[in-house]
Amino acid sequence: MYEFLTSYRYELSYTLALIIFLMIIQFLMKKAANKVGKRSEINITRTRLMFKYINILVFLIAAFLLALAWGVGFTEVSLVFSSVFAVIGVALFAIWSILSNITSGIIMFFSFPYKIGDTIKIHDKDIPVEAMIEDIKAFHLHLRTPDGELITYPNNLILQKAVSLIERDKRQDDGKEAL
């Protein structure tokens, strides 16, 4: 054990420093996402979804940097990552709407002006929709029509269509008047 520690002391110290650094970065990114979520009054489940995305990003960065730290050459690491991303890219190209909806969900987390409980009208020339936002998921919105019908509307389409606010959720307005 002592031989292992002495022969790999630089790699072990780099690994420890990298893990501490990435944990601090992860903490700061989650704190920033939480602050944006609270300031924008975003539902906690949507904030937790951002936490998952942050965890995946930090894990990929850690895998790349730790591979470099333990002696895997830059060309080998870049070959592995480019191969993995090429396979993922081909798979996602086949189902591009999933990637588009996830990206739209991230954009909506930071800059979507409507909240859960708001009644909106989507100005779609084929099928106009007037409904209350029941939930905002990673891939789609759950909209409830006045008739009680549940509509799932893709996130990428909600960003492409004109949307009007019909009625703001009264619970949000009541809380702001108290301040």
> Of 93, 25, 34, nearest to 59 (Cα)?
25
In the sheet with 150-154, reading across from the earlier edge strand, the strands are: 150-154, 140-144, 129-136, 119-123, 162-167
Read off the pLDDT of each residue in 55-74 and give the average, rounded to a whole number.
87
Return the pLDDT at 6. Answer: 82
> Of 20, 52, 18, 14, nearest to 33 (Cα)?
52
What's the CATH number of domain 114-178, 2.30.30.520, 1.10.287.610, 1.20.140.70, 3.40.50.300?
2.30.30.520
Q: Are 139 and 122 in contact (CB under 8 A)?
A: no
> Of 163, 129, 125, nearest to 149 (Cα)?
129
Q: How confident is the model at residue 178 (pLDDT cuts 50, 70, 90)?
A: very low
Distance CA 63, CA 57 (A): 10
> Of 38, 55, 45, 34, nearest to 142 (Cα)?
45
Return the pLDDT at 175. Answer: 47
**Predicted confidence (pLDDT) at residue 172 exceeds the cutoff of 60:** no
Read off the pLDDT of each residue in 87-103 and give the average, rounded to a whole number.
75
Q: What is the DSSP string of 2-17?
A: HHHHHHTHHHHHHHHH
Mean pLDDT of the chain: 84
Q: How confident is the model at residue 92 (pLDDT cuts 50, 70, 90)?
A: low
Structure tokens at 97: 């709407």
Each residue of 23-63: pLDDT tens digit? Answer: 999 999 999 989 988 888 888 888 888 899 899 989 988 98
Return the pLDDT at 143. Answer: 94
Domain boundaries, the chain: 2-94, 114-178
Distance CA 153, CA 91 (A): 23
Q: How confident is the model at residue 179 (pLDDT cuts 50, 70, 90)?
A: very low
Return the pLDDT at 176. Answer: 47
Read off the pLDDT of each residue in 82-93 and give the average, rounded to a whole number.
77
Fold of 2-94: Helix Hairpins (1.10.287)
> Of 153, 88, 84, 85, nearest to 121 (Cα)?
153
Each residue of 97-144: pLDDT tens digit? Answer: 777 888 888 888 888 888 888 999 999 888 889 999 998 888 889 999
Q: What is the largest CA-CA distance in the chain?
A: 73
